[in-house]
Amino acid sequence: MRKNFLIESQNHTKTKDIISKSFLAWTNFYLTHSLSGFPKKQTKSPLFYIPFILENFPI
C-alpha cells in the first residue's frame, strides 16, 4: 500500500512539473515574440501556443 502511495505521489509531482514548465514556456513565448504579424483573433486562442509548448516540453 505504501509503495503505491509513493508512486502516485511521484506521478503527481511529475505532472505538476510538466504543467509548470508548460505555463512558463507559454508565458515566455507570449512575452518574447512579436505578435503584431498575426491576426488578433488567432493570438487570443490558447490553441495558437500548443505547438510551441509541445515542441519545447514533450509529454
Task: Give the tens place of pLDDT for each residue, 4-44.
Answer: 555 555 655 676 777 777 777 777 777 666 555 555 555 56
Ordered alpha helix ranges (H), 2-49: 2-32, 40-44
Count how many Cα atoms sit within 13 Å of the Cα of residue 6 in the half-sphere of its side chain.
3
Number of structural domains found in the chain: 1
**Which residues, including other chains, have CB under 8 Å from residue 18's CB and lie 6 or more apart?**
57, 59
Measured from the Cβ of residue 21, the count of other Cβ atoms closer than 10 Å reads 13
- The boundaries of the domain holding residue 17 are 2-56
Residues 6+ apart with CB under 8 A from 53: 22, 25, 26, 29
Please tell me the predicted confidence (pLDDT) of residue 56.
80
